[in-house]
A and B are shown apart, each in its own frame.
Chain A
Amino acid sequence: MTIKQGQLVTVPRADLASGKPARLKARATRQITAWFMLLLFCCALLSAACAPIQKSPYDAAQATTTGQRATAKEALAGGAFNKFFPKSNDAYSVVYTQEKIGFAEAVLKSKTEDVATLSIFDTVSNPDAAAKYKASTQQVSGYPATEIGNNGTSILVANRFQVQVRTKAASFTAKDRETWLAAFDLAGLAKLQ
């Protein structure tokens, strides 16, 4: 490069003496950055490894019930309960939906709308279900009764069979639930032991 007389030339400061300090400084900066990145990466790894595994409120139930029976050997077949369900009439039809070990369920329909579910459960498979009636202060058709949530009314027949009616349509009231509980053949069910 030819430099004319009087021309102003800008020379990098580091080049004023051999140029080494500037190169060293750049290398050091690169090294610090690399170490910093590595540190960040390690922190990320560490936090990922230490992050708590998302727990479910059902993990405990899963652990205790895996490979276990959910129904007692003495539980009656669901089919044994069908004859005690209310019968269809002009306004409502009773459509059977489930027939499992110790359990039977039907849907109560008004025209095409599901208004309630009707069920009988043999509590030998879950004694806690029967135990809750000890605190019951209500009765339906002479049997101890209780509410299950906002939508269910149930009774315990012969200290063993839980009969429940659950609202599906808002028009089906708690009073309707009691009416339909009374429509089961409760006396017949009480003899089934």
Chain B
Amino acid sequence: MATKSIYKLVDNLPTTNITTRVLHALDFVAPGQWENLVGFDATIRAVTGETDPALIQKIGERAVALYNDSKQGYQRAEWLYSTVDDIDTTLAKLALANTIGGQIRWLSFLNRITPKADTLQGLDFSLKLATELAAFCLINGIPGDSIGDFVKALGEYGKESLIRMVALVALDGLIPLGPDFLGKVTSLLSNTTPKDLEGNRLYQGIQTYIPGANSAEKLNLIQKNFQSTSSWMSDLIAKSGLTQEKIVSNLSTIVDLTDRKLDYVAALLDMTTNYYEHTGTQTLARRLIERAVNEI
């Protein structure tokens, strides 16, 4: 469980790394929604619009106290966001070291990358979506199986929450699984058994926070969550004109995509970015501060 202080987590968010560059490259889907807000005081100023240092300190102290109370759910949400990313830091460092003109070159990675099979990719996608549901409920204080509230709230998603969902659809859906990824995941989930779920590494990590008494109930929730959010995702794709080609074209400034199969690109991005953790920390900090300014 995360025990690091919230202000250090927010202060330590990188201003520029592969994750932020990839997220900026996806900005065209939700123009102007996401700015990479880093630093605890800067976040308090941006969220509340206040500038008085004494007031900012007071708000920050209340936010610290709320985060430190494990019963409030914020620490569990942070843990979920960071666990689901499973970043390969060695590879991330290598990727940073192997850039030419800011573009990641493949030379050193080829032997380290194994694209996920479609079945694993599809299941991981639905687990990441279930993680968003669980974290949303923990942060906002809504019962963990409130899929209806989550779906309603998705329509209101903005800023870092929206870019996280855009990245999920683009990097974990469209790039590795293709334009029919929603159909593919639907069919995969209908053929998934509780035993299959138990064998999944990501599920093993986060299952405690997926509502349900056992794997069968948790699988049911994961399936329902995917079905209920599918239309929101297909609307997002349709409205923004999001296609594999557009994503690839925008990412080509970051990753050398010449003659590379997209499942390799997806695997590289999966192993070198932590967009769930990065934007999840930002979402959590925003909500926490919005609460804190009302509790002083």
- Contact residues of A with B, CB < 8 Å? 56-58, 61-62, 65-71, 78, 95, 97-101, 103, 105, 107, 117, 119, 121, 125-126, 128-129, 148-152, 162, 164, 166-168
State how many angstroms separate the Cβ of A154 from the closest Cβ of chain B: 8
Given A100-B291, A152-B294, 5 new contacts (CB under 8 A):
A97-B287, A98-B140, A98-B291, A126-B295, A149-B52
Binds A, one of B15-23, B60-68, B113-121, B226-234: B60-68
Given contacts A58-B40, A129-B296, contact A105 B290 (CB under 8 A): yes
Tell me which residues across on chain B come within 8 A of A164, comparing CB atoms: 294
Tell me which residues across on chain A come within 8 A of B287, comparing CB atoms: 97-98
Q: Is the CB of A70 within 8 A of B72?
A: yes
State how many angstroms separate the Cβ of A19 from the closest Cβ of chain B: 50
Tell me which residues across on chain B come within 8 A of A152, comparing CB atoms: 293-294
Q: Is the CB of B50 within 8 A of A150?
A: yes
* Chain B residue total in the interface (Cβ 8 A): 35
Tell me which residues across on chain B come within 8 A of A69, comparing CB atoms: 69, 71
State how many angstroms separate the Cβ of B32 from the closest Cβ of chain A: 14
Partner of A98, one of B62, B141, B156: B141
Tell me which residues across on chain A come within 8 A of B62, comparing CB atoms: 70, 126
Q: Is the CB of A70 within 8 A of B66?
A: yes
Assess whether B216 is interfacial by the CB under 8 Å rule. no
Q: Which residues of B, 238-296, contact A by the 8 Å Cβ criterion?
A: 287, 290-291, 293-296
State how many angstroms separate the Cβ of A172 from the closest Cβ of chain B: 11
State how many angstroms separate the Cβ of A110 from the closest Cβ of chain B: 14
Closest to A107 in B: B156
Q: Is the CB of B69 within 8 A of A70?
A: yes
Assess whether B8 is interfacial by the CB under 8 Å rule. yes
Given contacts A78-B141, A149-B55, contact A62 B68 (CB under 8 A): yes
Tell me which residues across on chain A come within 8 A of B290, comparing CB atoms: 97-98, 105, 117
Q: Is the CB of A162 within 8 A of B72?
A: no
Given contacts A149-B50, A151-B50, A162-B294, contact A70 B60 (CB under 8 A): no
Tell me which residues across on chain B come within 8 A of A67, comparing CB atoms: 68, 70
Q: How far is the CA of A168 from the CA of B48 in the complex (A)?
A: 8
Give the top 7 A-B pairs by smallest Cβ distance, nearest first.
A70-B69, A149-B50, A100-B141, A119-B294, A61-B61, A65-B65, A99-B141
Q: How far is the CA of A148 from the CA of B153 in the complex (A)?
A: 28
Q: Is the CB of A68 within 8 A of B68?
A: yes
Q: Is the CB of A56 within 8 A of B11?
A: yes
Closest to B60 in A: A58
Assess whether B181 is interfacial by the CB under 8 Å rule. no
Tell me which residues across on chain A come within 8 A of B49, comparing CB atoms: 149-151, 167-168
Tell me which residues across on chain A come within 8 A of B68, comparing CB atoms: 62, 65-68, 70
Tell me which residues across on chain A come within 8 A of B294, comparing CB atoms: 103, 105, 117, 119, 121, 152, 162, 164, 166
Partner of B60, one of A61, A66, A78, A100: A61
Q: Is the CB of A148 within 8 A of B296?
A: yes
